[in-house]
């Protein structure tokens, strides 16, 4: 819920809705338009609607009771009870190559903590880690409830023909769709931890060197192969001119005059991704870096300027040490740019003015958000981590992992005796019984009805 006194204009992110079809199209269009206007996000609006719903239930109680009696011949019954968190059963965890230990073991902790049996499918791209996970990890765990499967795309498709009770997938949106389609055949629920393009807005009111240090650090960590890394910067042309020397300075300070010789700069996972990234270097104009060496799968920390929205570097997730700067006229244009696209996994805003950071947060939607900071949010176990829309569904980390791998079973257990009291709920419904039932429901603590 928004904080008190929010004054910022509200917009809602998401791609333009596709026109509806059929007899419900007008209704759906009307509701989508209202959602996009941002009205439903205002706290006052939400409170007013819940109060109106309460008034409806209070004022039309008799009407509703009559309708229920006509339709079903009964009164609704509510009971108090308890939630039993139970393991889901046999779960499949599929992980990517970019943080091959973390992205395999962190979900595994949640699955085991909740009491599930697990099939682990690490990425075949990070072969050495895959080998250790397949050959050594099982020696530490009870193999009657745990297995590691070594499989490429084709074998994984076969694996997915089997029924699992839950699938936890981390990887690309493209494969995420295949996973969800395979899961749907068995009605298996999924968590999809996907990727995409994470925008980073830099306001004119900022200290360029501070912003450059933070953006450079989080962009080029792991050679840019991080799902939550800032994928592109949105800023004014003036801020771009101030940022470029500051970024060059940060790159030199972190990785030296010759970044290729730095032990702190990673390499690209394989030849295929190296070639893809080399292709992206041809977009726009190289302002910093741009060098590459195929023998080492090295790509220098690179900043591109003058890129067009239609160029590949602005169409696909970069997932490498390349950062395009895209110029906008100001905050409104930046927010518009962001909200016209798919909802990202992470969104960043840098400004000395906290209202600007708040406004980017308020006017957008993303899996997570960093204000004047990179992706340190994912180091806090108290925060959930996950995407929204095109960047995924579901969440984990800390207690959220346990909850993800648990079923919340709603339970009601009645006392076997006291039947005289229970009889009060049975038909035929005299006035006295109806009054008792009404009183019980209103008291909100009824465990009889």
Residues counted in the chain: 449
Gyration radius from the chain CA atoms:
27
* CA–CA gap between residue 71 and residue 430 (Å, rounded): 19
157 binding ligand NAD? (CB under 6 A)? yes
Q: Which residues of 389-403 are buried (b: 16+ CB within 10 A; e: fewer)?
A: bbbbbbbbbbebbbb
Q: CB nearer to ligand NAD: give 96 or 199.
A: 96
Judge whether 193 counts as a catalytic residue. Answer: yes
| Residues 360-399, interacting with ligand NAD (CB under 6 A) | 387, 392
- The yes or no reply on residue 235 touching ligand NAD (CB under 6 A) is no
Location of structure tokens 């909100």? 444
Contact window for ligand NAD (CB under 6 A) among 1-9, 52-60, 141-149, 168-176: 168-176
Cα–Cα nearest to 99, from 249, 229, 246: 229
Q: Which of the ranges 74-82, 120-128, 197-205, 353-361 carries the binding residues for ligand NAD, by CB under 6 A?
A: 120-128
Q: Which burial class, exposed, middle or buried, applies to 35 when counting CB atoms under 10 A from its CB (0-12, 13-18, 19+)?
A: middle
Our finding on whether 170 is near ligand NAD (CB under 6 A) is yes
Nearer CB in complex with ligand NAD: 90/178: 178
Query: By CB under 6 A, is residue 130 in contact with ligand NAD?
Result: no
Pick the catalytic residue: 117, 200, 206, 227? 227
Taking the complex as a whole, how short is the minimal distance between the CB of residue 279 and ligand NAD, in angstroms?
16
**Shortest reach from residue 159's CB to ligand NAD, in Å:** 8
Asked if residue 406 lies in contact with residue 114, where contact means CB atoms within 8 angstroms, the answer is yes
Tokens 């500051």: give the residue.
Answer: 246
Render the burial of 267-295: b for 16+ CB within 10 Å, e for the rest: bbbeeebbebbeebbebbebbbbbebeee
362 given a catalytic annotation: no
Among 91, 97, 234, 349, binds ligand NAD (CB under 6 A): 97
Establish if 294 lies at the interface with ligand NAD (CB under 6 A).
no
Is 404 a binder of ligand NAD (CB under 6 A)? no
Output 124 or 306, the one with its CB closest to ligand NAD.
124
> Should residue 195 be labelled a site residue for ligand NAD when binding is judged by CB under 6 A?
yes
d(CA 240, CA 284): 14
Residues 102, 195: Cα–Cα separation, whole Å: 16
Dist. CA 300–CA 287, nearest whole Å: 12
Nearer to ligand NAD, 31 or 159 (CB): 159
Binding residue count for ligand NAD, defined by CB under 6 A: 28
Q: How many CB atoms lie within 10 A of CB 32?
A: 17
Nearer to ligand NAD, 90 or 175 (CB): 175
Residues that bind ligand NAD (CB under 6 A): 94-98, 103, 121, 123-125, 152-153, 156-157, 170-172, 175, 178, 193-195, 227, 317, 319, 345, 387, 392
**Active-site amino acid positions:** 193, 227
């Amino acid at each position: 819920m928004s904080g008190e006194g929010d004054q910022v204009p509200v917009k809602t992110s998401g791609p333009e809705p596709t026109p509806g079809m059929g007899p419900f199209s007008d209704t759906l269009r009307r509701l989508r338009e209202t959602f996009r206007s941002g009205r439903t996000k205002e706290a006052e609006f939400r409170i007013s609607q819940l109060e109106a719903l309460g008034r409806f239930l209070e004022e039309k109680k008799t009407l509703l009771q009559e309708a229920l009696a006509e339709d079903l011949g009964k009164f609704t019954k509510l009971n108090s009870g308890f939630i039993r968190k139970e393991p889901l059963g046999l779960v499949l965890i599929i992980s990517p190559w970019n943080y091959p230990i973390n992205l395999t073991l962190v979900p595994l902790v949640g699955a085991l903590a909740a009491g599930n049996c697990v099939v682990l499918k690490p990425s075949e791209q990070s072969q050495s880690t895959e080998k250790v996970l397949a050959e050594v990890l099982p020696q530490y765990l009870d193999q009657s409830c745990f297995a590691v499967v070594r499989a490429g795309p084709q074998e994984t498709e076969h694996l997915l023909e089997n029924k699992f009770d839950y699938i936890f997938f981390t990887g690309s949106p493209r494969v995420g769709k295949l996973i969800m389609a395979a899961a749907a055949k068995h009605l298996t629920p999924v968590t999809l931890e996907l990727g995409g393009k994470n925008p980073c807005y830099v306001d004119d009111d900022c200290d360029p060197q501070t912003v450059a240090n933070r953006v450079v650090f989080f962009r080029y960590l792991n050679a840019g192969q991080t799902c939550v890394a800032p994928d592109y910067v949105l800023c004014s042309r003036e801020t771009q001119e101030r940022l470029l020397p500051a970024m060059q300075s940060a790159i030199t300070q972190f990785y030296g005059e010759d970044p290729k010789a730095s032990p702190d700069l990673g390499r690209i996972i394989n030849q295929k991704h190296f070639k893809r990234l080399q292709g992206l270097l041809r977009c726009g104009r190289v302002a910093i870096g741009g060098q590459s060496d195929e023998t080492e799968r090295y790509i220098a920390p690179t900043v591109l300027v003058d890129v067009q929205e239609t160029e590949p570097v602005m169409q696909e997730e970069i997932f490498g040490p390349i950062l395009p700067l895209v110029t906008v006229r100001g905050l409104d244009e930046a927010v518009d740019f962001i909200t016209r696209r798919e909802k990202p996994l992470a969104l960043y805003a840098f400004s000395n003015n906290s209202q600007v950071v708040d406004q980017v947060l308020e006017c957008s939607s993303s899996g997570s958000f960093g204000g004047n900071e990179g992706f340190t949010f994912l180091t806090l176990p108290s925060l959930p981590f996950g995407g929204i829309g095109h960047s995924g569904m579901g969440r984990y980390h800390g207690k959220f992992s346990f909850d993800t791998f648990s079923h919340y079973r709603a339970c009601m257990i009645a006392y076997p005796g006291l039947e005289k009291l229970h009889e009060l709920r049975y038909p035929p419904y005299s006035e006295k019984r109806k009054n008792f039932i009404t009183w019980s429901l209103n008291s909100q603590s009824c465990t009889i009805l």
